C-alpha cells in the first residue's frame, strides 16, 4: 500500500438546491400558481481537499453544515452541482460496480440489515450482492466477528438486538466486502459509552489492518480525538479549517486550562475569590479549581500559583475540542457579520 496515494480527491465541490417559497394565505397560494418564487440553498459551497490511503480524517461541522450531503456525493448517492470528485479513480455518481465494491457508507441509526431475520442472513445476502468469493467471505466474517465480538449476536433476529449491538452488526455488514474507503456518518450516535469505545477501537484496527481511507463525521469529540490526527471543519457548506487536530486547538483557542487542587485551608476561607487575580475561575469546589488563562501567561500564572498556595496537584490542559470547535463557528459568524 502506497501511503501517500490519494484515495479521495475533491476540487471545488458544490451542491445547490433550489427551493420554492411563498407567503401564507390564499392570495399567495393563487399567485404562486402563475409565478413561483425560488431561492437557492448552497448546501456545499466550493470545498476542496484530498484524503490519502490509511488516513482517518474527522469531518466536522454543526447540523446543516453540509457534511452528510458531501458524503452522499462522494459515495455516489447525489450528483454535485459543480466541481470535480475522484474516489479510487472513479467518478462516484456513475455508480460503477467496480467502484461500489470498494467503498461503503455507514449512517448512524439507518438500517441496512433486514429487521426480522438474523444478521448472518443479511450478511449472506451482501456476499451474493458483492460477489464475494466464499473463502474470502468466511475469512472476513471471522475477522469482523472477533473484532466486534459478534459471536453471540449474529444468529439473533435484528429486532431483538439493542441499539449498540445492532450498530456493530450494521458496521460488520458494511465491511464484508473489505472496502478501501469508508464514509462513516455518525456511526456512534445514540450509543452508550462502552459501545462507542468498542466501535472506535474497531475502526482504528480495521484502518491499521487494511490501510483504508476513512472520512468520519461525529458530534462526539471523543470519536475524533481517539481516531483522527487530521480534521476538516466546514460551516454553511464552506471549508473553514483543514489540518492537524492539535493545530486546530493552537489556532483557534487563545487560552489554556489550569486544574489545581489546593491544600485544605489554602485560601483562608476566601475560596474562589482568592484565585481571581490568577485568571478566570471557571469552577471552584472544596479546594479544587479550574482556571482559564491566556496561553502566553500560562507559565507565569503557574509559577505564581505554586509560590502563593500550598498545592496538592496542578495540571495544565488545552481546552476541550468541543469548546474549540464552538469558537471556530463563533469567530466565523462574527467575521460574516462584520462584512
Mean pLDDT of 33-58: 92
CATH number for position 297: 3.30.70
Q: What was the pLDDT predicted at 1?
A: 46
Which residue range forms the structural domain that includes residue 147?
A: 6-250
> How many domains does one find in the chain?
2
> Using one digit for the tens of pLDDT, what is the confidence trace for 284-311?
999 999 999 998 999 999 999 999 999 9
Spatial neighbors of 67 by CB under 8 A, at least 6 apart, are: 59, 60, 61, 185, 217, 234
Cβ–Cβ < 8 Å for 186, 159 = no
Which pLDDT belongs to residue 339?
Answer: 54
Last residue of a domain, one of 250, 282, 298: 250
Same domain, 129 and 83: yes
Q: Is the Cα dihedral 228, 65, 7, 127 positive or negative? A: positive
124 in the same domain as 50: yes
**Is 162:150 a contact under the CB 8 Å cutoff?**
no
Q: Which residue has the cell 465491511?
A: 175
Residue 22: the pLDDT is 74
What's the CATH number where 23 sits?
3.40.50.300
What SS3 state is found at 312?
strand
Residues 135 and 221 in one domain: yes
Q: Are residues 260 and 228 in the same domain?
A: no
pLDDT band at residue 334 under the 50/70/90 scheme: low
Q: What is the mean pLDDT of the chain?
A: 91
CB 195 within 8 A of CB 164: yes
Give this prediction's pTM: 0.84
pLDDT exceeding 70 applies to what percent of the chain?
A: 96
Same domain, 199 and 287: no
pLDDT number for residue 95: 95
Within-domain flag for 325: no
Average pLDDT estimate for 67-79? 96
Residues 85 and 183 in one domain: yes
Residue 330 lies inside a defined structural domain of this protein: no
DSSP-derived letter for residue 181 is: E
d(CA 184, CA 171): 9
For 319, which DSSP code?
P
pLDDT at position 323 is 80
Decide if pLDDT at 204 tops 80. yes
Q: Indicate if 222 and 290 belong to the same structural domain.
A: no
206 pLDDT tier (thresholds 50, 70, 90): very high
Amino acid at each position: 500500500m502506497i501511503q501517500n496515494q490519494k484515495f479521495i480527491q475533491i476540487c471545488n465541490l458544490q451542491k445547490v438546491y433550489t427551493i420554492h417559497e411563498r407567503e401564507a394565505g390564499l392570495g399567495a397560494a393563487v399567485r404562486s400558481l402563475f409565478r413561483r418564487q425560488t431561492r437557492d440553498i448552497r448546501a456545499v459551497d466550493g470545498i476542496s481537499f484530498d484524503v490519502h490511503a490509511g488516513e482517518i480524517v474527522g469531518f466536522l461541522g454543526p447540523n446543516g453544515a453540509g457534511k452528510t450531503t458531501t458524503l452522499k456525493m462522494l459515495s455516489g448517492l447525489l450528483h454535485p452541482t459543480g466541481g470535480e470528485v475522484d474516489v479510487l479513480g472513479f467518478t462516484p455518481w456513475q455508480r460503477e460496480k467496480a467502484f461500489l465494491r470498494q467503498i461503503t457508507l455507514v449512517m448512524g441509526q439507518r438500517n441496512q440489515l433486514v429487521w426480522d431475520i438474523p444478521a448472518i442472513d443479511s450478511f449472506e445476502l451482501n456476499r451474493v450482492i458483492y460477489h464475494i468469493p466464499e473463502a474470502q467471505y468466511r475469512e472476513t466474517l471471522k475477522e469482523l466477528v472477533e473484532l466486534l465480538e459478534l459471536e453471540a449476536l449474529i444468529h439473533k433476529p435484528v429486532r431483538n438486538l439493542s441499539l449498540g449491538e445492532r450498530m456493530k452488526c450494521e458496521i460488520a455488514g458494511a465491511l464484508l466486502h473489505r472496502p478501501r474507503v469508508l464514509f462513516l456518518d455518525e456511526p456512534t450516535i445514540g450509543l452508550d459509552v462502552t459501545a462507542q469505545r468498542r466501535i472506535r477501537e474497531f475502526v482504528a484496527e480495521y484502518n491499521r489492518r487494511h490501510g483504508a481511507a476513512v472520512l468520519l463525521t461525529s458530534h462526539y469529540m471523543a470519536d475524533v480525538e481517539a481516531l483522527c490526527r487530521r480534521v476538516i471543519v466546514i460551516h454553511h457548506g464552506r471549508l473553514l479549517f483543514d489540518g492537524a487536530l492539535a493545530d486546530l486547538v493552537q489556532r483557534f483557542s487563545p487560552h489554556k486550562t489550569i486544574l489545581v487542587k489546593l491544600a485544605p485551608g489554602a485560601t483562608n476561607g476566601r475560596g474562589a475569590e482568592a484565585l481571581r487575580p490568577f485568571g478566570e475561575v471557571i469552577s471552584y469546589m472544596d479546594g479544587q479549581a479550574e482556571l482559564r488563562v491566556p496561553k502566553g501567561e500560562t507559565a507565569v500564572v503557574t509559577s505564581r500559583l505554586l509560590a502563593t498556595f500550598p498545592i496538592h496537584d496542578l495540571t495544565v490542559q488545552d481546552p476541550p475540542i468541543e469548546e474549540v470547535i464552538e469558537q471556530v463557528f463563533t469567530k466565523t459568524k462574527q467575521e460574516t457579520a462584520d462584512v
